Structure 1
Amino acid sequence: MPAPHYATDREPCIPVLFLNERQEYLGWRDVLLHAHLIQDLALPLPPAASAALRLLVAMAARVSGLDAQADGRMTARQWAQRRRDLLKNPEGFDPGTVHDYFDRYIWDLFHPQRPFLQDPRLAAQCEKRAGINKLVFGRPEGNNLSWLSPHTDTHPQPVPSDQALWHLLIHHYYGAAGQCSVRTVSGRSLGRAKAGPLRSTLSFHPLGRTLYETLLAGMPKPSRPWPDAEDRCPWEEPLPAPDPDDSPDPDDGPDPDAAPPPVSSPGRLLTGRSRHAALLIPSADGRQVTDAYLTWATQKKLPALDPYLIHHVHPDQHVTKRHKPRPADADRALWRDLDALLLAGDEDDRKGKTGKGGKNYTVQRPDAFTTLNDLPPDLRADLRVRVYGFDQDDKTVNRTWYTALTPPIWLWTQEHDPAAAERIAECRKAAEEIGEHLDTASKAAWSHVTSPVGDRTGRPPKRLPPWTRSARTLYWPRAENTFWALLDDSTHPPHAAFAADAIHALRTATRPAIAQHFRAAEAIALAVDQLRRHRH
């Protein structure tokens, strides 16, 4: 029988939405060939879409020549002009250049020497496979209970190869830290992995009218070339020496214990920072994946600023810990991040809460947004932002993933409309401040009702009280409506408007308690009075 084969550049593995609203599955090659006819990616898993978009931007940089600045062949001004010229082309990327690029490399998911985004040496370096349920996010694996999925390790079910590719991308970018399959390299065995570079983050991508515009608009800004370093994506690395029996040599390929190459841009920055290694085990015909090896790829740090993340900059921290990505939070509405995208940076001093005692930090917009002012005016007017979030902890717990889409917002930026940008920041800050006061007031009211008579310690409850949870749930949707209304009426004071929302939320959340607790009415009245004091 022929060896299993699944060429990701030609096989229909990436779902896209065309301008005529038709959805179709395409390979990497066809995605770029038809990018000017495609409206957006249609991947159903937001973290996989976030990863795929980074791969496509790196590929687009290669076929468009916009990676030339990385090796010093193009100045920043020439780069911006080259991008504007490309955006004027209604035919998209040059087909000959696209085919030439994809013909140069191996895209086969099951190639014996260079499986796409995998390490074939794991078959010899790992004693045990991880199991197909470990590969697929959402499936229970090991001794975990099967609450919402019928899958078990006693009867593992294969996954189609296209979906296996999606989950492979998620592992490379959002993979867990901690225990993994033991991998033995040069006599040293280790079974612990580091977290993926995007784990628990919120990713922002400029969204054009077509995927072609999205890829060019989201191209990271030019950076200085690294001396004596070639910018390579994983699939662009040179092949190891051919082996007569096609079996991978454990000594060939990058040394996991060696220092990684510099994170150059755009290739290594967007595609080469994975700290996880994987090897998929295919079915006989290559249409499904039946098992997988999943383990660590490197224990070394790969410091870099991802160009699609909002960063909190802590000036009092060590330079290696100064930039912290804004974490994904499924309970946080997208409008609360708008000012971080619209302000140029360093104008927004806040009190951080990432460490004990709090730290002062400034907010830095994603680097990919710093060159958007060079885009043609008609594109800037229509430019929206696609958001991908994966709410996770720092180690192993995956809570939920989500996506969101903003309206066209680039005309509100500080560079174009300073008054609008400042108004958005003012309203967001007011909503946050009133939200904190609502938390404090509702917690105090709950403690007043539930504490024994005479107990005046004032200690906050160890767990979030039900009144606070309910009040939050009611407050933030109302605050969002108020936020958009305040943008249309610049004369209305935002604190008064959000305080009214908070009072309404608190009264609604605690109304049943008035009939249940004899001290509830007094406590709620005191809390409402505290919120009224913060209207100005």
Structure 2
Amino acid sequence: MKGERVELSLIGLFEEADSLSTLSGTTPGETVALLEYLLAICYASETYPNSAREWRRWVEEKHSLDQAAAWLAGRPDDEVWDLFHPTEPLGQNALLAPFLDQRGAGPAQLVIEHVGDYNQFFDHHHLEHPAPLPVAEAFRAMLTQHVYGPAGRARISGKETLGPTITNLAIGRLSSRIRVVALGATLGETLRLNLTPSADLPGEFNRSWTAGSQPRRGFRTKPDGRAVSGPADLHSYLGRSILLRPTPEGDAVDRVLLGAGELLDLQPRHLQDAVYAKMPDGRKKPLWASATRALWRDAHALYAGVANPDSPGAVHKGMDLYGRLALFPGADALPGPGGPVSRSINLWAVGLVAKQTTAITWVSGVFPFAPGLGADLHRASKRGSDIAEHVAAALGKAAYSAWTIAYPNPKPADKAGQIARFDARGMHWEATEEPFHILLDETVAGEDVHESLLDYASTVRVTARRFLTERLDSLPRNSQGSQAQAAALRRFDDEMTHPKAPAELQGEPA
């Protein structure tokens, strides 16, 4: 685990938390998995606030996390924290030990990005590659599997190991949705910001499959999800049955056996950071990662819980992360017109894009938040997204207008490719992200939202029209080409002044 390029133990991370600027894994998902583990230790050591009021004091007064470090340092001798312990391996299922040497695969199976299709009964020769994985990397990859492992079918044989359902890999707790982390100025503040207050017991920390009193599932039949005993249980749950084999030197892992893990009965209160988006049928579900829709286009969802917690259709989870952020120190000291905000944090959104059983890529984005400005940020981001969506639709219609003239007798099979020749939407989406973030930064700085939106809309409109013109440059220099170009530009301009167009595109405040 790294902080300012310094390798630290778990105890060291808590001892130095307020002098470390961040925690960094090799991927966004790995970093989230590490934070989840640290949060679980905070809860297990009873280092967490009991109420939203106390949460604010913890953040404002930089409440010490030494209790978590002392808890780790003071674990009894019979409570082992050893990745390779024979009966209680850290984060693993020792019941797989009799099968590991013969039925395990290479360490690539442990790393989400290296597996490929999680229907692992396919021909996956690369999983047999014996190249060892350093212990620290293996530990972080294991944590990431527990939290983000995609659904699929494990390579392990259930009939010849623990039972038929060990092959059924359930989707990880965070795999199907965007995880939002409130980022503070230090690792310590980040942990305090993301500790959900609770007056209840923390529940049991899942140190190992064979340790503790927490009942574990069997693998003869598929069980129902078990109840979550508390936040320590939630953040440390073992989403995979994993067992690692060390090299003779003990500094790396050379073989891995991986199968299905625990199933949890998750309730709305367990999704403190979740933001919700509408599906085509009108239902709401936690915002998910997409390979085609950038996170910033849905940034307004991040601010909605602070701006409109009681709006119709809102998903109520009690005092969630966004409700607490409204209490963030400084929320009772609103800035004057054009004045700077005293404190701000960032909301870091992370998701895993998967196509069926194949992990594709990680997506992430950072969005600013300032106390007292939730409503302004929600408005700026929602209007900014609406403006970008309208401009994109206009570019699509303009491309179609050019196509109808440039290709009067097209073959149906060629239509999509021909329209794509004039379609500037990809260029538009890529170019709009930066002005959108500038819009949010100006809002956090206390700038007038009306003026910022007008500037943003002007930039997006002018840039998009330039992209369209560039796309149309491929038209022949003849009458037909000129007509197609004129029709496309006219259609784009008409869409900018259409009665349903966002007012800002016409130089007017909404």
The two structures have a TM-score, normalised by structure 2, of 0.76
Give 1:141 deviation, angstroms.
6.7
Contact 2:15/2:65 (<8 A) preserved: yes
**1:465 equivalenced with 2:429 (yes/no):** no
Write the mapping of 1:348-359 to structure 2, written as runs, cut at 5 A.
none
Give 1:239 deviation, angstroms.
2.7
Deviations 1:227-249 (A, max 9, x none): xxx722311777379xxxxxxxx
Code of the residue aligned with 1:113 in structure 2: it is T
Q: What is the rounded CA distance, in whole Å, between the counterparts of 1:439 and 1:363 in structure 2? A: 34
Q: What is the rounded CA distance, in whole Å, between the counterparts of 1:138 and 1:198 in structure 2? A: 16
Give 1:292 deviation, angstroms.
0.4
The two structures have a TM-score, normalised by structure 1, of 0.73
Secondary structure at the aligned position of 1:501 is classed as helix
Secondary structure at the aligned position of 1:448 is classed as helix
Secondary structure at the aligned position of 1:343 is classed as helix
Write the mapping of 1:516-527 to structure 2, written as runs, cut at 5 A.
518=481, 520-527=484-491
Write the mapping of 1:95-244 to structure 2, written as runs, cut at 5 A.
95-100=69-74, 105-124=79-98, 128-139=103-114, 152=126, 155-181=129-155, 182-184=157-159, 188=164, 191-222=167-198, 231-235=203-207, 239=211
Partner residue of 1:503? Answer: 465
Deviations 1:145-181 (A, max 9, x none): xxxxxx9456431110111112112211221212212
Deviates more, 1:282-291 or 1:373-382: 373-382
Q: What is the rounded CA distance, in whole Å, between the counterparts of 1:530 and 1:131 in structure 2? A: 59
In structure 2, runs of 5+ residues without a counterpart are 120-124, 333-340
Partner residue of 1:93? Answer: 66
Q: CA RMSD in A?
A: 4.3
Code of the residue aligned with 1:108 in structure 2: it is D
Secondary structure at the aligned position of 2:74 is classed as helix
After superposition, the Cα gap between the structure-2 partners of 1:156 and 1:216, relative to the gap in structure 1 and judged at 3 Å, is same
Contact 2:228/2:265 (<8 A) preserved: no
After superposition, the Cα gap between the structure-2 partners of 1:98 and 1:298, relative to the gap in structure 1 and judged at 3 Å, is closer
Give 1:296 deviation, angstroms.
1.2
Deviations 1:93-119 (A, max 9, x none): 245345235878432111111211111
Of the three residues 388, 403, 409, the one matched with 1:453 is 409
Partner residue of 1:325? Answer: 286
In structure 1, runs of 5+ residues without a counterpart are 1-13, 18-22, 70-75, 145-150, 242-251, 351-359
Give 1:513 deviation, angstroms.
3.5
Deviations 1:401-437 (A, max 9, x none): 2444344x223533xxx44543443233222333233
Contact 1:107/1:116 (<8 A) preserved: yes
Contact 2:18/2:188 (<8 A) preserved: yes
Higher-helix-fraction structure: 2
How many residues in Structure 1 have an aligned counterpart in Structure 2?
468
Secondary structure at the aligned position of 2:360 is classed as strand
Contact 1:345/1:364 (<8 A) preserved: no
Secondary structure at the aligned position of 1:377 is classed as coil
**1:411 equivalenced with 2:371 (yes/no):** yes
Of the three residues 346, 351, 358, the one matched with 1:397 is 358
Partner residue of 1:34? Answer: 16
Contact 2:105/2:257 (<8 A) preserved: yes
Of the three residues 295, 308, 321, the one matched with 1:368 is 321
Secondary structure at the aligned position of 1:308 is classed as coil
**1:430 equivalenced with 2:394 (yes/no):** no
